[in-house]
Structure 1
């Protein structure tokens, strides 16, 4: 005859159920742990790869987007190369010889012309380009005497490319940085004879209305 009290039976049944649940609980925990161990490294590796890829993207400098040179600037190709130019001055002045070399710069957006004029040891640079807003060719000039100028030209017309602008011409260079000069309105009319030969008919207008003309005959060296 079972004389065990009901509460004792309940405790015994509870212990039996607990003994059965413990292995299941441990196994489940172990399985989850193993799953975490298995997934953890893979997830970490994936995260590490993503982080490394992101760092690689940030560490590698992005190449700047290159804007192509405007097609209009190719209208200045006749200047490219090295030329010897014989200058026929206005009456009463002495002839001169200019040697000039023009190269593309800044990815072809601009053309730089370096020139030396003899006699006088004048060394100058002209920067040619295309103004996309005004839709004109531009030319900025300066030399070792201190002269400077800005010119502009419309598109080629009937075989002529005409630059006009104001030149601040130094009369006598001075190491003091102060000297005398004259403003001159210049008109340069370029004409291409062939790929190795071009001319420039130049007209100079002074503030008193005096007009003088000269010309450059330039042939490829």
Structure 2
């Protein structure tokens, strides 16, 4: 939306008979700008993983299957994931925000949940993303349902080649926190 808005602004301030500026158009099949070196800090996510979920007390164990690939000439990673039980299918997009100097992660799933998180980067073996999550409680095909706004923390640790853990904390509006973890191994 932001890039489109910038493009529209540029068109509205151009002289009426001026030729369009094509300098910003990338050559076909080539990315004019190499991916930022910071994105390689996320390479541990690349590939297909099976993750065993250990829920907070009272929750049910689950299995998360995810596949992460590079996108947009290596500027981003995207992860397609499915969680059983629950038939949840989600997608995360990871990237580097060069203006703020932070990693970004956007999440969406087929229940209608969505979130936006940021991370300053690796510190003491942890890559911690934080941000708001709107979690759907019960999916509904009408497009209207109940949910809750949470603060989410994803704490990634690489345990070995092809093996990482994501400890996830959910903080509810009343201040209570639940924590679970995903133990992920490359297939």
What TM-score do the two structures reach when normalised by structure 1?
0.71
User: CA 1:151/1:65 → structure 2, altered by over 3 Å: closer, same or farther?
Assistant: closer
Distance 1:195 1:177, change over 3 A: same
Question: Among residues 56, 64, 67, which one is paired with 1:98 in the alignment?
Answer: 64
From the two aligned structures, give the one with the greater helix fraction. 1
Going from structure 1 to structure 2, the CA distance change for 1:62 and 1:145 (only over 3 Å counts) comes to closer
| Displacement of 1:76 | 0.3
Q: 1:70 is matched with which residue? A: 36
| Superposed structure 1 runs of 4+ greater than 2 Å apart | 61-65
Tell whether 2:50 aligns with 1:84: yes
Task: Report the counterpart of residue 162 of structure 1 in structure 2.
Answer: 128
Q: How many residues align?
A: 161
Q: CA deviation at 1:65?
A: 5.8
Residue 155 of structure 1 deviates from its aligned partner by 1.4
- Higher alpha-carbon Rg: 1
Q: Which residue of 1 aligns with 2:139?
A: 173
User: Aligned partners of 1:176 and 1:105: how far apart in 2?
Assistant: 32
How much has 1:66 moved relative to structure 2? 1.4
Q: Shift of the alpha carbon at 1:62?
A: 5.4
Inter-partner Cα distance in structure 1 for 2:161 and 2:144: 42
| Structure possessing the higher relative contact order (Cα contacts under 8 Å, 6 or more residues apart) | 2
- The CA distance in 2 between the partners of 1:107 and 1:201, in whole Å, is 30
1:75/1:181 CA distance change after superposition, 3 Å: same
SS in 2 for 1:179: coil
* TM-score where L is the length of structure 2: 0.84
Please say if 1:116 is aligned against 2:82: yes
DSSP-derived class of the 2:86 partner: coil
Flag the structure with higher strand content.
2
Residues in 2 aligned to 1:62 and 1:128: alpha-carbon distance in whole angstroms: 25
Contact 2:31 2:73 in 1 (8 A): no
- CA RMSD between the two structures: 1.3
Structure 2: which 5+ residue stretches go unaligned? 1-25
**Structure 1 spans left out of the alignment, 5+ residues:** 1-60
